[in-house]
């Protein structure tokens, strides 16, 4: 272990029989250290156990530890149990969650399922956790208070198996956005819209974590997409078209009587007709607006526009129509022609890699899921070669490695709504459970966060929530890019 001038040092990480050198700065947080380990091992931080005389906790001070971390090494042989063995069927729900290692839920503080489900989805974004760990501010602005309360909540969730009440996040959200403090005639807090909560939280995070230099801040880097729009007058084709660019943090999926699939609903939102004054005609005229993605973010958020205002009942009504969404999303048809032609070779390569991964995963499943240490080591080597192949393609094509270089995404969190109205019903959060062995697409397990109740479901359940009734239906979808190309 050699120390450098900046106090950084090299440590050896042992994983699946391989040793990986990782650079660590003891003055930084544990989350930053874990993210560095993630880059070389592919083990997600929430599935990671770093052994340094016990399990390394997220609030530990790295500068006070003897850094000789090992992941996945064997400990001493277990001793005989000192307490009576209790079977799962004899345990209550909290005991089962602790025994199975389920993550903690969030306590409903009175019509706050909209917030709890949103928070569980946000917590799955690794880049956000890293940014929050580094956040420090003396500002007393409402946005800074919300950001600091999110930091403390996420840190607390990493250190317990018990449900956590998000008091601080809720109170600061209500101070920043008073609509979340609305009450009904009986003085009880009203149900709120999860998408509105998502928007307000992201707005606070973007402002608090933003770059002082004017460059893209962490939120823009991890979730910011760019739309390039072309506006053409439908009544005067000879009139020159105008082009503009716009940054957003999510896509909309419009739902009409013709919408059956996610991509078609997104395209419907990107292709619009508007009226504005035509300089060539000297009057109001119809214009066709076509927008496409000119920047593909690391994390893609899609809002299913299921609520609309009904004047006759003076309430937000819900669109029940069934709209299918995929576990793996190809966005190449949503991109501009320039981006599409640039990423096409990488897109094809990634699709082939994903197919080959599914084949290997199904072989392991046929062997009753018995992946040996040799299998795990082989898989790590294969995935390193896969990333190297993608990295070489990205460099060859001159693609910005900070973005999604292939246009391929995988679903890893969603928020659903159950009921017929935005002012009532129930929100639930769902996040993908990371597996220690390769799993084919469509065979993953997922966590269901029903406030403080956490359980595990299959991917079939996730795909079944596409609408058609008042049961839980997908409302916010969170996709992440697959096969990230890493650069030194």
As a whole number of angstroms, the distance between CA 247 and CA 223 comes to 10
**Contacts with 92 (C-beta within 8 Å, 6 or more apart), sequence order:** none
Is the Cβ–Cβ distance between 299 and 478 less than 8 Å?
yes
- DSSP secondary-structure letter at 314? T
As a whole number of angstroms, the distance between CA 420 and CA 424 comes to 7
233 is catalytic: no
Count of all residues that appear for the chain in the document: 488
Whole-Å CA distances, 387 to 12, 204, 345, 376, 481: 21, 34, 14, 17, 13
As a whole number of angstroms, the distance between CA 221 and CA 297 comes to 7
Count CB atoms within 10 A of the CB of residue 488.
Answer: 4
- DSSP secondary-structure letter at 406? S
CA 176 to chain centre: 24
The CA radius of gyration of the chain, in Å to the nearest whole number, is: 24
Is the Cβ–Cβ distance between 255 and 306 less than 8 Å?
yes
As a whole number of angstroms, the distance between CA 360 and CA 387 comes to 17
**Contacts with 314 (C-beta within 8 Å, 6 or more apart), sequence order:** none
As a whole number of angstroms, the distance between CA 106 and CA 112 comes to 10
Task: Classify the C-alpha dihedral 416-418-421-425 as positive or negative.
Answer: negative
* Block residue for tokens 């040996």: 372
Structure tokens, 194: 């999860």
- 205 backbone dihedrals φ, ψ, rounded to 5°: -65, -40
- Beta pairing partners, 473: 417
Neighbouring C-alpha atoms within 13 Å toward the C-beta of 366:
6
15 is catalytic: no
Pseudo-torsion of CA 127, 129, 134, 140, nearest 10°? 120
As a whole number of angstroms, the distance between CA 375 and CA 109 comes to 46
* Block residue for tokens 């946005």: 143
**Which is catalytic among the residues 15, 113, 233, 253?**
113
Alpha helices in 29-92 (DSSP H): 30-41
- Beta pairing partners, 9: 3, 24
Catalytic residues: 113, 426
């Amino acid at each position: 272990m050699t120390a450098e001038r900046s106090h950084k040092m090299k440590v050896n990480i042992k994983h699946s029989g391989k040793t990986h050198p990782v650079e660590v700065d003891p003055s930084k947080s544990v989350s930053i250290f874990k993210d560095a380990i993630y880059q070389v091992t592919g083990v997600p931080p929430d599935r990671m156990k770093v052994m340094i005389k016990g399990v390394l906790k997220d609030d530990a001070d790295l500068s006070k530890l003897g850094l000789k971390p090992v992941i996945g090494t064997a400990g001493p042989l277990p001793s005989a149990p000192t307490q009576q063995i209790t079977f799962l069927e004899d345990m209550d729900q909290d005991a089962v969650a602790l025994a199975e290692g389920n993550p903690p839920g969030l306590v409903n503080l009175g019509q706050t399922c909209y917030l709890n489900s949103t928070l569980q989805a946000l917590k799955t974004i690794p880049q956000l956790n890293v940014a929050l760990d580094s956040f420090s501010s003396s500002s007393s602005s409402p946005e800074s208070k919300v950001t600091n309360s999110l930091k403390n909540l996420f840190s607390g969730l990493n250190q317990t198996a018990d449900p956590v009440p998000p008091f601080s996040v809720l109170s600061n959200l209500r101070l920043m956005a008073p609509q979340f403090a609305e009450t009904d005639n009986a003085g009880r807090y009203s149900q709120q819209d999860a998408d509105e909560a998502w928007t307000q939280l992201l707005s606070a995070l973007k402002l608090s974590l933003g770059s002082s230099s004017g460059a893209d801040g962490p939120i823009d880097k991890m979730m910011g997409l760019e739309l390039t729009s072309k506006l053409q007058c439908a009544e005067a084709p000879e009139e020159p078209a105008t082009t503009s660019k716009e940054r957003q943090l999510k896509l909309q999926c419009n739902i009409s009587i013709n919408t059956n699939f996610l991509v078609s609903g997104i395209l419907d939102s990107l292709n619009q007709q508007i009226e504005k004054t035509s300089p060539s005609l000297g009057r109001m005229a119809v214009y066709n607006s076509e927008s496409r993605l000119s920047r593909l973010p690391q994390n893609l958020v899609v809002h299913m526009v299921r609520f609309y205002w009904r004047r006759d009942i003076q309430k937000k009504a819900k669109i029940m129509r069934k709209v299918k969404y995929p576990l793996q999303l190809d966005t190449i048809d949503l991109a501009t022609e320039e981006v599409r032609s640039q990423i096409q070779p990488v897109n094809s390569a990634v699709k082939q890699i994903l197919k080959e991964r599914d084949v290997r995963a199904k072989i392991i499943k046929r062997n009753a899921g018995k992946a040996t240490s040799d299998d795990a080591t082989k898989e790590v080597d294969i995935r390193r070669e896969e990333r190297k192949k993608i990295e070489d393609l990205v460099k060859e094509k001159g693609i910005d490695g900070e973005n999604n270089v292939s246009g391929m995404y995988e679903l890893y969190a969603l928020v659903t709504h159950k009921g017929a109205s935005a002012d009532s019903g129930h929100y639930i959060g769902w996040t993908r459970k990371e597996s220690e062995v390769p799993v084919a697409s469509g065979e993953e397990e997922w966590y269901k966060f029903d406030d403080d109740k956490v359980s595990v479901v299959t991917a079939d359940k996730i795909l079944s929530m596409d609408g058609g009734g008042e049961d839980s239906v997908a409302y916010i979808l969170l996709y992440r890019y697959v096969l990230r190309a890493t650069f030194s």
